[in-house]
Amino acid sequence: MIVQRKELTFWERLYLPAILGGLKVTWRHFRKTFFKGQTAAKELAGGFYPETKWVVAEGYRGAPYLVRDPDGRTKCVSCQLCEFVCPPKAIRITPPGPEGSPQVGNVEKEPREFEIDMLRCIFCGYCQEVCPEEAIFLMKDYSLNGFTRQEMIYNKEKLLSLGGVHNDQIHKWKKK
Amino acid sequence: MSWIDNLSPTAQGVLFSIIKIICVVVGLLTMFAYAVWLERRVSAFIQDRVGPNRVGPFGLLQPVADGIKALLKEDFTPAHVRKAYFWLAPAIAVIPALLVMAVIPFGSNLGREKMVIADLNVGILYTFGIVSLGVYSIVLAGYAANSKYPFLGGIRSSAQMISYEIAMGMSVIPVFMLVGSLNLGQVIAYQAPGIFGWLVFKQPLAFVIFLVAAFAETKRTPFDLPEAEQELAGGYNVEYSSMKFALFFMGEYINVIASSAMMVTLFFGGWTLPFAGLNQPAGTIAQGLAHIGIFLAKVFVFLVVIIWVRWMWPRFRYDQLMDLGWRRFVPLALANILVTALVLWAKA
Protein backbone atom coordinates (compact mmCIF):
# COMPACT_ATOMS: atom_id res chain seq x y z
CA MET A 1 0.00 0.00 0.00
CA ILE A 2 1.28 3.43 -0.91
CA VAL A 3 0.28 6.25 1.40
CA GLN A 4 0.01 9.55 -0.39
CA ARG A 5 1.85 12.11 1.69
CA LYS A 6 0.30 15.52 1.66
CA GLU A 7 2.68 18.27 0.60
CA LEU A 8 2.97 20.64 3.57
CA THR A 9 2.35 24.32 3.01
CA PHE A 10 4.94 26.89 4.03
CA TRP A 11 2.86 27.84 7.08
CA GLU A 12 2.71 24.24 8.19
CA ARG A 13 6.42 23.73 7.64
CA LEU A 14 7.16 26.54 10.09
CA TYR A 15 5.84 24.17 12.82
CA LEU A 16 3.87 27.13 14.20
CA PRO A 17 0.38 25.63 13.74
CA ALA A 18 1.67 22.51 15.48
CA ILE A 19 2.89 24.60 18.41
CA LEU A 20 -0.45 26.36 18.72
CA GLY A 21 -2.36 23.09 18.43
CA GLY A 22 -0.15 21.48 21.05
CA LEU A 23 -0.56 24.46 23.36
CA LYS A 24 -4.31 24.31 23.05
CA VAL A 25 -4.60 20.59 23.75
CA THR A 26 -2.17 20.54 26.67
CA TRP A 27 -3.69 23.66 28.22
CA ARG A 28 -7.18 22.18 27.94
CA HIS A 29 -6.12 19.05 29.82
CA PHE A 30 -4.03 20.97 32.35
CA ARG A 31 -6.95 23.29 33.13
CA LYS A 32 -9.35 20.40 33.45
CA THR A 33 -7.17 18.52 35.91
CA PHE A 34 -5.60 21.39 37.81
CA PHE A 35 -8.55 23.72 38.31
CA LYS A 36 -11.53 21.37 38.14
CA GLY A 37 -9.90 18.27 39.56
CA GLN A 38 -11.27 16.05 36.81
CA THR A 39 -8.78 13.24 36.55
CA ALA A 40 -9.10 10.11 34.49
CA ALA A 41 -9.03 7.98 37.66
CA LYS A 42 -11.96 9.84 39.18
CA GLU A 43 -14.00 9.73 36.00
CA LEU A 44 -13.38 6.09 35.16
CA ALA A 45 -13.05 4.39 38.56
CA GLY A 46 -14.46 6.97 40.97
CA GLY A 47 -11.27 7.43 42.94
CA PHE A 48 -7.56 6.80 43.17
CA TYR A 49 -5.91 3.44 43.08
CA PRO A 50 -4.99 1.99 46.44
CA GLU A 51 -8.29 3.13 47.99
CA THR A 52 -10.50 2.56 44.98
CA LYS A 53 -9.54 -0.56 43.14
CA TRP A 54 -9.77 -0.54 39.39
CA VAL A 55 -12.70 -2.65 38.23
CA VAL A 56 -11.51 -4.89 35.44
CA ALA A 57 -13.52 -5.60 32.35
CA GLU A 58 -15.25 -8.88 31.58
CA GLY A 59 -12.80 -11.35 30.04
CA TYR A 60 -9.79 -9.82 31.77
CA ARG A 61 -6.92 -12.24 32.20
CA GLY A 62 -5.50 -11.92 35.69
CA ALA A 63 -3.85 -14.47 37.94
CA PRO A 64 -4.56 -18.17 37.28
CA TYR A 65 -6.25 -20.04 40.16
CA LEU A 66 -7.51 -23.61 40.60
CA VAL A 67 -11.26 -24.19 40.97
CA ARG A 68 -13.41 -26.82 42.69
CA ASP A 69 -16.52 -28.38 41.21
CA PRO A 70 -19.95 -27.80 42.89
CA ASP A 71 -19.37 -30.88 45.09
CA GLY A 72 -16.21 -29.36 46.49
CA ARG A 73 -13.82 -31.64 44.65
CA THR A 74 -10.59 -30.49 43.11
CA LYS A 75 -11.06 -30.63 39.36
CA CYS A 76 -7.38 -30.90 38.50
CA VAL A 77 -6.25 -34.42 37.59
CA SER A 78 -2.48 -33.82 37.45
CA CYS A 79 -2.27 -34.31 33.69
CA GLN A 80 0.51 -31.70 33.72
CA LEU A 81 -0.45 -30.22 30.37
CA CYS A 82 -0.42 -26.74 31.91
CA GLU A 83 3.01 -27.39 33.35
CA PHE A 84 4.26 -28.33 29.88
CA VAL A 85 2.60 -25.45 28.06
CA CYS A 86 3.52 -22.73 30.57
CA PRO A 87 5.93 -20.40 28.69
CA PRO A 88 7.76 -19.01 31.75
CA LYS A 89 7.67 -22.40 33.56
CA ALA A 90 5.75 -20.94 36.48
CA ILE A 91 3.71 -24.07 37.25
CA ARG A 92 5.03 -27.06 39.15
CA ILE A 93 2.79 -30.07 39.78
CA THR A 94 3.54 -32.99 42.05
CA PRO A 95 1.28 -35.86 40.91
CA PRO A 96 0.20 -38.44 43.48
CA GLY A 97 1.76 -41.40 41.67
CA PRO A 98 0.11 -44.73 40.71
CA GLU A 99 -1.47 -45.50 44.08
CA GLY A 100 -3.51 -42.31 44.20
CA SER A 101 -4.71 -40.37 47.18
CA PRO A 102 -6.54 -42.37 49.87
CA GLN A 103 -8.85 -39.48 50.91
CA VAL A 104 -10.59 -38.77 47.62
CA GLY A 105 -11.94 -42.21 46.76
CA ASN A 106 -12.50 -42.82 43.11
CA VAL A 107 -11.52 -39.35 41.98
CA GLU A 108 -8.53 -39.85 39.78
CA LYS A 109 -5.15 -38.32 40.44
CA GLU A 110 -5.79 -35.17 42.37
CA PRO A 111 -2.36 -33.48 42.52
CA ARG A 112 -0.45 -33.89 45.76
CA GLU A 113 0.91 -30.38 45.29
CA PHE A 114 0.25 -27.69 42.71
CA GLU A 115 2.41 -24.58 42.76
CA ILE A 116 2.32 -21.44 40.64
CA ASP A 117 5.17 -19.01 41.00
CA MET A 118 3.31 -15.73 40.60
CA LEU A 119 6.60 -13.88 40.09
CA ARG A 120 7.13 -15.88 36.91
CA CYS A 121 3.53 -16.12 35.70
CA ILE A 122 2.84 -13.82 32.78
CA PHE A 123 -0.97 -14.20 32.81
CA CYS A 124 -0.94 -15.57 29.26
CA GLY A 125 -3.82 -17.96 29.82
CA TYR A 126 -2.27 -20.97 28.05
CA CYS A 127 -2.91 -23.12 31.13
CA GLN A 128 -6.60 -22.29 31.04
CA GLU A 129 -6.71 -22.93 27.30
CA VAL A 130 -4.94 -26.27 27.47
CA CYS A 131 -6.70 -27.67 30.58
CA PRO A 132 -8.90 -30.66 29.55
CA GLU A 133 -10.72 -30.60 32.91
CA GLU A 134 -11.49 -26.87 33.09
CA ALA A 135 -9.73 -26.88 36.42
CA ILE A 136 -7.65 -23.70 36.11
CA PHE A 137 -8.96 -20.26 35.22
CA LEU A 138 -7.47 -16.81 34.86
CA MET A 139 -9.35 -14.72 37.37
CA LYS A 140 -9.50 -10.97 37.86
CA ASP A 141 -6.72 -10.47 40.41
CA TYR A 142 -3.99 -8.26 38.98
CA SER A 143 -2.22 -6.95 42.05
CA LEU A 144 -0.42 -9.77 43.85
CA ASN A 145 2.20 -8.92 46.39
CA GLY A 146 4.24 -10.32 49.22
CA PHE A 147 7.36 -9.63 51.24
CA THR A 148 9.42 -12.62 50.12
CA ARG A 149 9.85 -14.60 46.93
CA GLN A 150 8.73 -17.71 48.78
CA GLU A 151 5.47 -16.01 49.64
CA MET A 152 4.77 -15.43 45.96
CA ILE A 153 4.77 -19.17 45.19
CA TYR A 154 1.10 -20.04 45.63
CA ASN A 155 0.45 -23.64 46.67
CA LYS A 156 -2.56 -25.85 45.97
CA GLU A 157 -4.46 -24.86 49.09
CA LYS A 158 -4.06 -21.16 48.41
CA LEU A 159 -4.90 -21.50 44.73
CA LEU A 160 -8.04 -23.48 45.49
CA SER A 161 -9.24 -21.05 48.15
CA LEU A 162 -8.65 -18.09 45.86
CA GLY A 163 -10.25 -19.83 42.89
CA GLY A 164 -13.48 -20.86 44.62
CA VAL A 165 -16.15 -23.03 43.02
CA HIS A 166 -16.72 -23.23 39.34
CA ASN A 167 -20.45 -23.79 38.76
CA ASP A 168 -20.22 -26.21 35.90
CA GLN A 169 -23.19 -27.97 34.22
CA ILE A 170 -21.20 -31.15 33.81
CA HIS A 171 -20.88 -33.18 36.99
CA LYS A 172 -18.17 -35.53 35.93
CA TRP A 173 -17.69 -37.38 39.24
CA LYS A 174 -21.36 -37.72 40.24
CA LYS A 175 -21.96 -41.28 39.05
CA LYS A 176 -18.50 -42.68 39.55
CA MET B 1 31.19 41.19 62.41
CA SER B 2 34.37 43.25 62.74
CA TRP B 3 36.63 40.25 62.35
CA ILE B 4 35.58 40.05 58.69
CA ASP B 5 36.76 43.62 58.11
CA ASN B 6 40.10 42.77 59.72
CA LEU B 7 40.74 40.03 57.15
CA SER B 8 42.87 40.77 54.12
CA PRO B 9 40.92 41.39 50.85
CA THR B 10 42.12 38.05 49.47
CA ALA B 11 40.93 36.17 52.52
CA GLN B 12 37.60 37.97 52.38
CA GLY B 13 37.25 37.07 48.71
CA VAL B 14 37.95 33.41 49.42
CA LEU B 15 35.58 33.35 52.40
CA PHE B 16 32.68 34.95 50.56
CA SER B 17 33.31 32.84 47.44
CA ILE B 18 33.13 29.66 49.51
CA ILE B 19 29.89 30.83 51.16
CA LYS B 20 28.41 31.70 47.76
CA ILE B 21 29.50 28.39 46.25
CA ILE B 22 27.89 26.45 49.10
CA CYS B 23 24.67 28.47 48.83
CA VAL B 24 24.51 28.08 45.05
CA VAL B 25 25.20 24.35 45.08
CA VAL B 26 22.70 23.69 47.86
CA GLY B 27 20.17 25.93 46.12
CA LEU B 28 20.74 24.18 42.82
CA LEU B 29 20.32 20.72 44.31
CA THR B 30 17.08 21.85 45.97
CA MET B 31 15.92 23.30 42.69
CA PHE B 32 16.83 20.04 40.96
CA ALA B 33 14.78 18.06 43.44
CA TYR B 34 11.77 20.31 43.02
CA ALA B 35 12.22 20.59 39.26
CA VAL B 36 11.72 16.82 39.12
CA TRP B 37 8.67 17.13 41.35
CA LEU B 38 7.35 19.99 39.20
CA GLU B 39 7.93 18.01 36.05
CA ARG B 40 6.04 15.04 37.43
CA ARG B 41 3.13 17.12 38.68
CA VAL B 42 2.79 19.25 35.52
CA SER B 43 3.13 16.22 33.28
CA ALA B 44 0.50 14.45 35.32
CA PHE B 45 -1.95 17.33 35.09
CA ILE B 46 -1.52 17.49 31.33
CA GLN B 47 -2.25 13.76 31.15
CA ASP B 48 -5.37 13.87 33.39
CA ARG B 49 -3.48 12.37 36.34
CA VAL B 50 -2.44 13.93 39.64
CA GLY B 51 1.19 12.83 39.96
CA PRO B 52 3.05 12.30 43.25
CA ASN B 53 0.75 13.71 45.95
CA ARG B 54 1.09 11.24 48.81
CA VAL B 55 4.45 12.01 50.43
CA GLY B 56 3.89 15.13 52.49
CA PRO B 57 1.51 17.96 51.60
CA PHE B 58 0.98 18.06 47.81
CA GLY B 59 3.71 15.41 47.55
CA LEU B 60 6.32 18.01 48.46
CA LEU B 61 8.45 15.42 50.28
CA GLN B 62 8.58 13.18 47.22
CA PRO B 63 12.15 14.33 46.35
CA VAL B 64 13.27 13.15 49.82
CA ALA B 65 11.71 9.74 49.22
CA ASP B 66 13.30 9.58 45.77
CA GLY B 67 16.69 10.50 47.19
CA ILE B 68 16.52 7.86 49.91
CA LYS B 69 15.45 5.28 47.37
CA ALA B 70 18.30 6.15 45.01
CA LEU B 71 20.85 5.88 47.81
CA LEU B 72 19.55 2.61 49.24
CA LYS B 73 19.08 0.79 45.95
CA GLU B 74 21.55 -1.85 44.89
CA ASP B 75 24.34 -0.25 42.92
CA PHE B 76 24.61 -2.84 40.19
CA THR B 77 27.50 -2.90 37.74
CA PRO B 78 26.80 -5.24 34.84
CA ALA B 79 29.56 -7.73 34.02
CA HIS B 80 30.05 -6.58 30.44
CA VAL B 81 30.69 -2.86 30.99
CA ARG B 82 33.99 -1.02 30.75
CA LYS B 83 34.38 -0.29 34.44
CA ALA B 84 36.50 2.87 34.53
CA TYR B 85 34.37 4.78 32.04
CA PHE B 86 31.23 3.37 33.56
CA TRP B 87 32.14 4.95 36.88
CA LEU B 88 33.45 8.16 35.36
CA ALA B 89 30.49 9.03 33.15
CA PRO B 90 27.91 9.93 35.86
CA ALA B 91 30.41 12.23 37.57
CA ILE B 92 31.13 14.01 34.29
CA ALA B 93 27.39 14.46 33.82
CA VAL B 94 27.00 16.51 36.99
CA ILE B 95 30.20 18.54 37.25
CA PRO B 96 29.96 20.66 34.06
CA ALA B 97 26.31 21.34 34.80
CA LEU B 98 27.25 22.73 38.22
CA LEU B 99 30.23 24.67 36.87
CA VAL B 100 28.08 26.63 34.41
CA MET B 101 26.29 28.32 37.28
CA ALA B 102 29.56 29.92 38.44
CA VAL B 103 29.32 32.83 36.02
CA ILE B 104 25.59 33.50 36.11
CA PRO B 105 24.65 36.58 38.18
CA PHE B 106 21.73 35.37 40.28
CA GLY B 107 21.17 38.71 42.01
CA SER B 108 22.65 42.20 42.21
CA ASN B 109 24.39 42.34 45.55
CA LEU B 110 23.89 41.67 49.24
CA GLY B 111 25.77 44.30 51.20
CA ARG B 112 28.99 44.74 49.29
CA GLU B 113 29.10 41.26 47.82
CA LYS B 114 28.11 40.81 44.18
CA MET B 115 25.72 37.88 43.77
CA VAL B 116 27.81 36.00 41.25
CA ILE B 117 30.45 33.44 42.10
CA ALA B 118 32.94 34.40 39.40
CA ASP B 119 32.50 37.77 37.68
CA LEU B 120 34.42 36.67 34.60
CA ASN B 121 34.97 39.05 31.72
CA VAL B 122 34.69 36.11 29.32
CA GLY B 123 31.63 34.64 31.04
CA ILE B 124 29.88 33.38 27.96
CA LEU B 125 33.01 31.79 26.48
CA TYR B 126 33.53 29.97 29.75
CA THR B 127 29.91 28.78 29.68
CA PHE B 128 30.18 27.39 26.17
CA GLY B 129 33.48 25.77 26.99
CA ILE B 130 32.03 24.01 30.02
CA VAL B 131 28.71 23.10 28.44
CA SER B 132 30.44 21.31 25.60
CA LEU B 133 32.15 19.06 28.16
CA GLY B 134 28.74 17.72 29.15
CA VAL B 135 28.50 15.61 26.01
CA TYR B 136 31.48 13.53 27.15
CA SER B 137 29.46 11.99 29.95
CA ILE B 138 26.87 10.71 27.53
CA VAL B 139 29.35 9.50 24.96
CA LEU B 140 31.34 7.78 27.70
CA ALA B 141 28.21 6.28 29.22
CA GLY B 142 27.16 4.96 25.81
CA TYR B 143 30.61 3.56 25.14
CA ALA B 144 31.14 2.13 28.62
CA ALA B 145 27.80 0.33 28.70
CA ASN B 146 29.02 -1.91 25.89
CA SER B 147 25.55 -2.67 24.60
CA LYS B 148 23.64 -1.43 21.61
CA TYR B 149 20.98 0.98 22.89
CA PRO B 150 23.25 3.02 25.12
CA PHE B 151 25.76 3.10 22.27
CA LEU B 152 23.16 4.43 19.83
CA GLY B 153 22.14 7.01 22.42
CA GLY B 154 25.74 8.10 22.84
CA ILE B 155 26.30 8.46 19.11
CA ARG B 156 23.09 10.39 18.63
CA SER B 157 23.85 12.75 21.45
CA SER B 158 27.38 13.51 20.26
CA ALA B 159 26.12 14.39 16.77
CA GLN B 160 23.19 16.37 18.12
CA MET B 161 25.12 18.36 20.69
CA ILE B 162 27.92 19.25 18.27
CA SER B 163 25.40 20.48 15.69
CA TYR B 164 23.37 22.57 18.09
CA GLU B 165 26.33 23.97 19.96
CA ILE B 166 27.32 25.80 16.77
CA ALA B 167 23.88 27.32 16.26
CA MET B 168 23.74 28.21 19.94
CA GLY B 169 27.14 29.85 19.97
CA MET B 170 26.39 31.87 16.87
CA SER B 171 22.95 32.92 18.07
CA VAL B 172 24.40 34.85 21.01
CA ILE B 173 27.05 36.73 19.02
CA PRO B 174 24.60 39.54 18.06
CA VAL B 175 23.76 39.93 21.74
CA PHE B 176 27.37 40.65 22.56
CA MET B 177 27.74 42.90 19.52
CA LEU B 178 24.97 45.05 20.97
CA VAL B 179 26.24 44.95 24.54
CA GLY B 180 29.88 45.29 23.67
CA SER B 181 31.06 42.96 26.43
CA LEU B 182 31.23 39.25 27.17
CA ASN B 183 30.63 39.81 30.88
CA LEU B 184 27.19 38.61 31.89
CA GLY B 185 26.88 41.40 34.48
CA GLN B 186 27.32 43.92 31.67
CA VAL B 187 24.66 42.13 29.62
CA ILE B 188 22.22 42.59 32.48
CA ALA B 189 23.24 46.23 32.98
CA TYR B 190 22.54 46.83 29.28
CA GLN B 191 19.02 45.42 29.64
CA ALA B 192 18.20 47.15 32.92
CA PRO B 193 16.67 50.47 31.72
CA GLY B 194 13.31 49.22 30.47
CA ILE B 195 11.34 46.22 29.32
CA PHE B 196 12.07 47.03 25.68
CA GLY B 197 15.72 47.07 26.54
CA TRP B 198 15.45 43.32 27.15
CA LEU B 199 17.37 41.59 24.42
CA VAL B 200 14.47 39.27 23.64
CA PHE B 201 12.81 42.30 22.01
CA LYS B 202 15.98 43.55 20.36
CA GLN B 203 17.12 40.12 19.16
CA PRO B 204 14.02 37.91 18.89
CA LEU B 205 15.60 35.66 16.27
CA ALA B 206 18.67 35.11 18.43
CA PHE B 207 16.39 34.19 21.31
CA VAL B 208 14.39 31.67 19.26
CA ILE B 209 17.54 29.99 17.99
CA PHE B 210 19.04 29.96 21.47
CA LEU B 211 15.84 28.51 22.93
CA VAL B 212 15.65 25.70 20.37
CA ALA B 213 19.36 24.98 20.73
CA ALA B 214 18.94 24.92 24.51
CA PHE B 215 16.24 22.29 24.15
CA ALA B 216 18.59 20.22 22.01
CA GLU B 217 21.54 20.77 24.36
CA THR B 218 19.59 19.70 27.41
CA LYS B 219 18.10 16.74 25.52
CA ARG B 220 14.51 17.74 26.13
CA THR B 221 11.60 16.80 23.91
CA PRO B 222 11.26 17.38 20.94
CA PHE B 223 15.02 16.79 20.71
CA ASP B 224 15.38 13.97 23.24
CA LEU B 225 16.88 11.55 20.77
CA PRO B 226 19.75 10.40 23.02
CA GLU B 227 17.19 9.08 25.49
CA ALA B 228 14.20 8.32 23.29
CA GLU B 229 12.42 5.90 25.61
CA GLN B 230 10.33 4.42 22.84
CA GLU B 231 13.23 3.69 20.50
CA LEU B 232 16.25 3.19 22.74
CA ALA B 233 14.59 2.14 25.99
CA GLY B 234 16.17 5.09 27.77
CA GLY B 235 19.32 5.47 25.68
CA TYR B 236 22.71 6.05 27.21
CA ASN B 237 21.63 5.36 30.81
CA VAL B 238 20.06 1.92 30.24
CA GLU B 239 22.76 0.02 32.12
CA TYR B 240 22.84 2.36 35.11
CA SER B 241 21.01 1.97 38.38
CA SER B 242 20.65 3.55 41.81
CA MET B 243 22.73 6.65 42.54
CA LYS B 244 24.64 6.55 39.26
CA PHE B 245 21.38 6.81 37.36
CA ALA B 246 20.27 9.58 39.72
CA LEU B 247 23.46 11.47 38.90
CA PHE B 248 22.60 11.43 35.20
CA PHE B 249 19.17 12.69 36.09
CA MET B 250 20.68 15.37 38.26
CA GLY B 251 23.06 16.49 35.54
CA GLU B 252 20.23 16.71 33.07
CA TYR B 253 17.94 18.77 35.29
CA ILE B 254 20.72 21.06 36.48
CA ASN B 255 21.49 21.63 32.80
CA VAL B 256 17.87 22.59 32.24
CA ILE B 257 18.04 24.99 35.18
CA ALA B 258 21.35 26.39 33.98
CA SER B 259 20.08 26.97 30.46
CA SER B 260 16.94 28.63 31.85
CA ALA B 261 19.18 30.85 33.95
CA MET B 262 21.28 31.59 30.87
CA MET B 263 18.23 32.60 28.83
CA VAL B 264 16.98 34.78 31.67
CA THR B 265 20.37 36.46 31.90
CA LEU B 266 20.94 36.93 28.19
CA PHE B 267 17.47 37.82 26.97
CA PHE B 268 15.16 38.62 29.88
CA GLY B 269 17.11 41.08 31.95
CA GLY B 270 18.47 38.72 34.59
CA TRP B 271 17.59 39.88 38.10
CA THR B 272 16.16 43.24 36.98
CA LEU B 273 12.56 44.36 36.67
CA PRO B 274 11.97 47.69 34.94
CA PHE B 275 9.87 49.28 37.69
CA ALA B 276 9.97 50.18 41.41
CA GLY B 277 13.67 50.87 41.10
CA LEU B 278 14.41 47.17 40.82
CA ASN B 279 16.65 47.72 37.80
CA GLN B 280 19.44 49.28 39.87
CA PRO B 281 21.94 47.30 41.98
CA ALA B 282 20.45 46.86 45.42
CA GLY B 283 21.21 49.35 48.19
CA THR B 284 19.65 47.35 51.00
CA ILE B 285 19.63 43.69 51.95
CA ALA B 286 15.88 43.47 51.29
CA GLN B 287 16.35 44.74 47.75
CA GLY B 288 19.18 42.30 47.23
CA LEU B 289 16.94 39.43 48.31
CA ALA B 290 14.16 40.75 46.06
CA HIS B 291 16.56 40.62 43.11
CA ILE B 292 17.41 36.99 43.86
CA GLY B 293 13.66 36.30 44.10
CA ILE B 294 13.04 37.96 40.71
CA PHE B 295 15.80 35.90 39.13
CA LEU B 296 14.43 32.66 40.58
CA ALA B 297 10.90 33.56 39.46
CA LYS B 298 12.06 34.14 35.89
CA VAL B 299 13.96 30.83 35.93
CA PHE B 300 10.85 29.12 37.27
CA VAL B 301 8.77 30.44 34.34
CA PHE B 302 11.30 28.99 31.92
CA LEU B 303 11.29 25.66 33.75
CA VAL B 304 7.52 25.44 33.41
CA VAL B 305 7.74 26.29 29.70
CA ILE B 306 10.41 23.64 29.13
CA ILE B 307 8.36 21.04 31.00
CA TRP B 308 5.20 22.00 29.18
CA VAL B 309 6.76 21.79 25.73
CA ARG B 310 7.62 18.17 26.44
CA TRP B 311 3.94 17.24 26.11
CA MET B 312 3.20 19.50 23.17
CA TRP B 313 5.38 18.01 20.51
CA PRO B 314 6.38 14.57 19.29
CA ARG B 315 10.05 13.82 18.89
CA PHE B 316 11.83 14.92 15.72
CA ARG B 317 13.12 12.25 13.40
CA TYR B 318 16.89 12.10 13.43
CA ASP B 319 17.42 13.48 9.93
CA GLN B 320 14.91 16.26 10.59
CA LEU B 321 16.88 17.17 13.69
CA MET B 322 20.13 17.45 11.75
CA ASP B 323 18.39 19.28 8.91
CA LEU B 324 16.90 21.80 11.31
CA GLY B 325 20.23 22.37 13.01
CA TRP B 326 22.54 22.68 10.05
CA ARG B 327 20.32 23.93 7.24
CA ARG B 328 17.96 26.22 9.13
CA PHE B 329 19.46 27.52 12.35
CA VAL B 330 23.11 27.86 11.42
CA PRO B 331 22.36 30.00 8.31
CA LEU B 332 19.74 31.97 10.22
CA ALA B 333 22.16 32.68 13.04
CA LEU B 334 24.82 33.75 10.52
CA ALA B 335 22.32 36.05 8.78
CA ASN B 336 21.38 37.50 12.14
CA ILE B 337 25.01 38.30 12.90
CA LEU B 338 25.39 39.94 9.50
CA VAL B 339 22.23 42.06 9.77
CA THR B 340 23.11 43.16 13.30
CA ALA B 341 26.59 44.10 12.18
CA LEU B 342 25.21 46.11 9.24
CA VAL B 343 22.73 47.96 11.46
CA LEU B 344 25.40 48.77 14.03
CA TRP B 345 27.73 49.91 11.26
CA ALA B 346 25.04 52.12 9.72
CA LYS B 347 24.30 53.66 13.12
CA ALA B 348 27.92 54.33 13.94
Are the beta carbons of A26 and B44 separated by less than 8 Å? no
Residues A22 and A68 in one domain: no
Measure in Å the smallest separation between the Cα of A115 and chain B Cα atoms: 30
Residue A105 has a pLDDT of 61
Are the beta carbons of B45 and A18 separated by less than 8 Å? no
Whole domain around residue A17: which residue ranges?
12-44
Are the beta carbons of B42 and A30 separated by less than 8 Å? yes
Measure in Å the smallest separation between the Cα of A77 and chain B Cα atoms: 43
The more confidently predicted of residues B131 and A136 is: A136
| Rounded Cα gap, residues A127 and B83, in angstroms | 44
Query: Chain centroid to CA B318: how far?
Result: 23
Instruction: Report if residue A175 sits inside a domain.
Output: no
User: Is the reported ipTM for this assembly greater than 0.85?
Assistant: no
Instruction: Please name the member of A23, A29, A48 whose beta carbon is closest to the beta carbon of B48.
Output: A29
Instruction: Please name the member of B42, B50, B312 whose beta carbon is closest to the beta carbon of A23.
Output: B312
Chain B residue nearest residue A29, CA to CA: B46
Are the beta carbons of B313 and A18 separated by less than 8 Å? yes
Q: B176 near B190, Cβ under 8 Å?
A: no
Q: Which tens digit of pLDDT belongs to each residue from B58-75? A: 888 888 888 888 888 888
Q: Which tens digit of pLDDT belongs to each residue from B139-148? A: 888 888 888 8
DSSP code, position B328? I
Determine which of B50, B317, B320 to mutate to test the interface with A (most A C-beta atoms within 10 Å).
Answer: B50
Residues A100 and A24 in one domain: no
**What is the end-to-end Cα distance of chain A in Å, rounded?**
61
Residues A36 and A99 in one domain: no
Residues A81 and A120 in one domain: yes
Instruction: Report if residue A169 sits inside a domain.
Output: no
Are the beta carbons of A33 and B311 separated by less than 8 Å? no
Reply yes or no: is the peptide bond before residue B222 cis, omega within 30 of 0. Answer: yes
Residue B135 has a pLDDT of 82
Asked if pLDDT for residue B237 goes beyond 60, the answer is yes
Residue A107 has a pLDDT of 60
- Find chain B residues with C-beta within 8 A of A26's C-beta: 46, 308, 311-312
Residues A106 and A145 in one domain: yes
Instruction: Report if residue A174 sits inside a domain.
Output: no
| Rounded Cα gap, residues B169 and B210, in angstroms | 8
Proportion of chain B in helix, strand, coil states, percent, rounded to 5: 70, 0, 30
Chain A residues within 8 angstroms (CB to CB) of chain B: 18-19, 22-23, 25-26, 29-30, 32-34, 38-41, 48
Residues A39 and A84 in one domain: no
Instruction: Please name the member of B47, B50, B313 whose beta carbon is closest to the beta carbon of A29.
Output: B47
- Find chain A residues with C-beta within 8 A of B311's C-beta: 22, 26
Distance set, CA B325 to CA B131, B223, B242, B329, B331 (Å): 18, 11, 34, 5, 9
| Rounded Cα gap, residues A84 and A94, in angstroms | 13
Measure in Å the smallest separation between the Cα of B64 and chain A Cα atoms: 22
Measure in Å the smallest separation between the Cα of B312 and chain A Cα atoms: 4
Residues A129 and A70 in one domain: yes
Residues A25 and A93 in one domain: no
- Angle, alpha carbons B302-B308-B310 (nearest 5°): 110
Measure in Å the smallest separation between the Cα of B47 and chain A Cα atoms: 7
Residue A129 has a pLDDT of 92
Residues A32 and A70 in one domain: no
Are the beta carbons of A26 and B48 separated by less than 8 Å? no
Measure in Å the smallest separation between the Cα of A37 and chain B Cα atoms: 9
Residues A74 and A158 in one domain: yes
Instruction: Report if residue A29 sits inside a domain.
Output: yes
With a cut of 50, which residues of chain A have pLDDT below it? none
Instruction: Report if residue A50 sits inside a domain.
Output: no
Give percent of chain B above pLDDT 70: 97
Residues A113 and A32 in one domain: no
Residue A103 has a pLDDT of 67
Instruction: Report if residue A126 sits inside a domain.
Output: yes
Query: What are phi and psi for residue A138, nearest 5 degrees?
Result: -80, 120
Q: What is the mean pLDDT of residues B123-140?
A: 84
Domains: count for chain A: 2
Instruction: Report if residue A130 sits inside a domain.
Output: yes
Instruction: Report if residue A85 sits inside a domain.
Output: yes
| Rounded Cα gap, residues B162 and B166, in angstroms | 7
Instruction: Please name the member of A22, A23, A33 whose beta carbon is closest to the beta carbon of B45.
Output: A33
Are the beta carbons of A33 and B48 separated by less than 8 Å? yes
Mean of all residue pLDDT scores within chain B: 84
Q: Which tens digit of pLDDT belongs to each residue from B310-348? A: 888 888 888 888 888 888 889 999 999 999 999 989 987
Residue B1 has a pLDDT of 62
Query: What are phi and psi for residue B125, nearest 5 degrees?
Result: -65, -40
pTM of the model: 0.80
CATH at A112: 3.30.70.3270
Instruction: Please name the member of B42, B49, B308 whose beta carbon is closest to the beta carbon of A40.
Output: B49
Residues A69 and A32 in one domain: no
- Angle, alpha carbons B281-B263-B213 (nearest 5°): 165
